[in-house]
Amino acid sequence: MRHPRRTMLVPAMLFLFAGSLAIAQSNNSLLNGNYGFVTGGYSVTQNWPVGIGGVLVADGKGNITSGFVDVNDVSKPNLVNAAVTGTYNVVSNYRATISFTVTSTKVTYSFIASLAGISGGVATQASLIENDANEGTSGSMEKQDSAAFSIGANTGAYVVGLAARSAQPPNPETRTSAVGSFTLGSGSVTNGLVDIMAATGDTQLALVSAGTLTGGFSVAASGRGTMTLNAPSRTIHLAIYPVSTNRWLVFGTDAAIVWRGVVLRQTGAPFSLASCNGNSVLYGTDSGSATTGIATCDGAGNGTVTLEQNEQGTVDIVGGPMAVSLTSAANGRMVFNLGGGAMVAPLYFYAPNSYLLASQDALVITGEAQTGAPFTNASLKQTFGFGTIPAGGQVFNTGITLISGTQTFDGAGRATTTQETVKETASFTNNVGNTFTTRLVSSGVTSSDTYSVESNGRVTCGSCSTVKYIVSPSKVVAMEKGGVPAPTITLMQATGAPADVTPVSGWWWDPNLSGTGFFIEYGGKSLGGMFVGGFLYDASGNSTWLASTGPISGSTYTSTWSRVSGGQTLTGPYRAPSGIGAGNIVIVFSDSTHGLLTRPDGSKVNLQRFSFTGSTPTAPVAGAPQSGWWWAGSSLSGTGYGIEIQGSSVFIVAYVYDDTGNPVWYLATGGLTSPTAYSGTWDLYSGGPQLTSPEGTYSTTKVTGKSVAMSLTFSDGTHGTLTMGSVSIPIVRFQEF
């Protein structure tokens, strides 16, 4: 790029339609491959149990190219293995919309999702809340490993946890839960034990049956299978969606009862009292009831439990001594006896300190081994995707609220949340006399709060309505506190592994591609996001720019380039731009100042930090504004400025558009007149290398007659004013990524 000392061209950042799920800057590559999902809740119009399970195939470009769903609504015949197609759109802050239509019935289902577990540039987990006129369900979606798509791949010892609601109006509703273990092999279910709890209406559950469990299963290459479980007094038919050979999502296909749950491979067998030796975070939910807390075992059958239970808005903290007895070492079955018989619950271990428990109040409670203690505020320092887990009970007739979104913790007691909310309000009447109005949705609402972490992982906040428990630094459980008549449990999963390498924010380049450059900023609201801009040239030698945003996983950034066009000129009136994909981008950072960029054609670029003040970049002069991306706010989205200050020199690029709507950039560089002021000219360049040009010697040329006088003044580190003749534009730091 052309500069009094060096030649390097700068990138541009793009943020379109800020704060909305309709953001044009898409990250659809984050969903790619087969995903199994299960949701549960209640039919909005009929107030009966309903659930949806299935497999969706995402192409990384916004299309659900194929898939199939199982829909279980006790008010109508089930839909089994029905083909679907659809679309999705992923936003830069890990939020998405997903919509698919059943080919045979033409019914469309729509969900709001928050993505998590980003690995290799692809989300492996998502929380789902339904947002359509069909049902009020919530649940999870997980990326499937095709290595699990056969009978022979799934062998060994497993545990199962199932929760169900059934209703056959006008009869009262029945709540049922089941936990057990079995051995899988050659399509058979053998060596099984199971405990089933059930009750009708509002009565407390009782142990209905305990005994052997047998059956069979099959798995197809499509990622869907079936399972039959022969339990005491009942047979259960399930659709299975293997996530891996270690974990299945399962969904009931029997009429008039909606089962949902998981099958988990056992590790650490044979089990003994020593398998319960440490802390486990507990959580589970049903209509009007939610439970979370910590159980601690000593490895000799003794322990304590502290549970926080929200029963229809009233929170009780239940605790005391706990006795653990082992009943089956081979199957991992034990019994918790809390408070001298106040709660006696069978459970099955799937790993040390990790188990599935059938409680006496309609819950299948998950216990997960806690790691990372002792905890402090610094234990939470990344972005989490979150969503409401399915409640077994009557979701909408108790006014339950479904939420999905992201929450970013700064490690120092501050958190920022962006959230979607779905809730039914009041005025039509359903079959059991409950009244509702249209669905209420709030989208992209952002808020800030304080948080405080106790040493045992319990997290409270300044003004929120939840209490949280840390399972690990990458997983948190949240429960709604008192005053909420229909409490829920929310699972929070880290969007991606914290970066192993933190790239220095500012200008980067390849010295053998003089005339082009890349602006990289790491952090943003998500703390772990990255925004990359590329200042380049097209085939005719005209300047052009591309933009990309997404997370870093480990030391690797994987996303897509976007080419934006149609927006405003440097000094002209605002025109809303539009964007299209321009290929993939991968950057592998070897350290904080060096990286290898892979271009859309597979060729490589050796990146390093760009210094415009000497051999190495120098720190900004005292009192200077922040280096990074700047913009004029959402009313002028699609246009912005990359600003870096080294010493008392500044290097600025404006990313805008020419008179025909093509993306162009202008460069201004030189010495600051004071730590908070600069005067110079915007200059336009041409003749440099394209995005995929080979390394070599290039010579750029300043375009005559295109220079524009400009000045910048800054009132503080994040606010300034850009002046070009009679045009003055207030600008602020841009960190919406």
591 C-beta neighbours (distance < 10 Å), count: 12
CA neighbor of 656 nearest in space, from 12, 166, 195, 146: 12
| 533 CB-side CA count, 13 A | 33
Q: Which residue has the tokens 């299963």?
A: 217
457 and 385 in one domain? yes
Q: Does residue 614 lie within any of the structural domains?
A: yes
- Burial bucket for residue 104 (CB in 10 Å: 0-12, 13-18, 19+): exposed
513 C-beta neighbours (distance < 10 Å), count: 27
| Pairwise CA distance, residues 504 & 568, whole Å | 30
516 and 487 in one domain? no
* Domain region containing 695: 506-733
CA neighbor of 312 nearest in space, from 446, 483, 195, 460: 483
Distances (CA, A) of 197 to 428, 487, 709: 35, 22, 77
Distances (CA, A) of 656 to 154, 545, 575, 612, 642: 55, 9, 11, 23, 12
| 175-260-183-352 Cα dihedral, nearest 10 degrees | -90
| Pairwise CA distance, residues 100 & 62, whole Å | 12
Q: Buried b vs exposed e over 336-357: b needs ≥16 C-beta within 10 Å?
A: bbbeeeebbbbbbbbbbbbbbb
Provide the token pair at 504: 């220095």
Give all strands (DSSP E) within 396-494, no chain letters: 401-409, 414-424, 428-429, 435-436, 439-453, 458-461, 466-472, 475-480, 489-494
Cis peptide before 374 (omega within 30 of 0): yes
Q: Does residue 105 lie within any of the structural domains?
A: no
Total residue count of the chain as it appears in this document: 737
511 and 480 in one domain? no
542 and 490 in one domain? no
Query: Taking a C-beta distance cutoff of 8 angstroms, is the pair 289, 361 a contact?
Result: yes
Hey, which residues does 320 pair with through a beta bridge? 305
- Output the pLDDT for position 375: 94
Supply the pTM of this predicted model: 0.72
- Output the pLDDT for position 134: 73
515 and 639 in one domain? yes
| Pairwise CA distance, residues 727 & 63, whole Å | 43
Q: Does residue 423 lie within any of the structural domains?
A: yes
Distances (CA, A) of 210 to 175, 239, 284, 347, 386: 17, 23, 21, 12, 35
pLDDT tens readout for residues 349-397: 999 999 999 877 667 899 999 999 999 998 998 889 999 887 544 333 4
722 and 619 in one domain? yes
Q: What would the DSSP string read from start to end of 32-63?
A: EEEEEEEEEEEETTT--EEEEEEEEEEESSSE
| Pairwise CA distance, residues 545 & 685, whole Å | 12
DSSP, collapsed to helix, strand or coil, labels residue 379 as helix
528 and 416 in one domain? no
Give all strands (DSSP E) within 578-698, no chain letters: 578-591, 594-598, 604-609, 628-631, 640-646, 649-657, 663-671, 677-682, 685-686
CA neighbor of 599 nearest in space, from 559, 629, 553: 559
DSSP, collapsed to helix, strand or coil, labels residue 288 as coil
Q: Does residue 363 lie within any of the structural domains?
A: no
Q: Which of 265, 281, 310 is the last residue of a domain?
A: 265
Q: Does residue 284 lie within any of the structural domains?
A: no
DSSP, collapsed to helix, strand or coil, labels residue 147 as helix
Hey, which residues does 383 pair with through a beta bridge? 408
| CB proximity list for 75: less than 8 A, separation 6 or greater | 43, 46, 48, 50, 169, 431
Q: Does residue 180 lie within any of the structural domains?
A: yes
DSSP, collapsed to helix, strand or coil, labels residue 347 as strand
485 and 515 in one domain? no
- Burial bucket for residue 322 (CB in 10 Å: 0-12, 13-18, 19+): buried
Residues of the chain with pLDDT under 70: 1-26, 43-47, 74-75, 92-93, 167-173, 199-209, 287-288, 313, 318-320, 339-343, 361-362, 391-400, 424-440, 483-485, 497-500, 525-527
Provide the token pair at 256: 């008039």
683 and 625 in one domain? yes
Q: Does residue 80 lie within any of the structural domains?
A: no
| Pairwise CA distance, residues 51 & 164, whole Å | 10
| CA R_g for the chain | 28
Tell me how many domains the chain contains. Answer: 3
| Pairwise CA distance, residues 668 & 685, whole Å | 11
Q: Which of 242, 265, 288 is the last residue of a domain?
A: 265
690 and 548 in one domain? yes
219 and 183 in one domain? yes
CATH number at residue 166: 2.40.128
592 and 528 in one domain? yes
Q: Which of 243, 265, 287 is the last residue of a domain?
A: 265
| CB proximity list for 476: less than 8 A, separation 6 or greater | 380, 384, 459, 468, 469, 470, 491, 492
Q: Does residue 476 lie within any of the structural domains?
A: yes
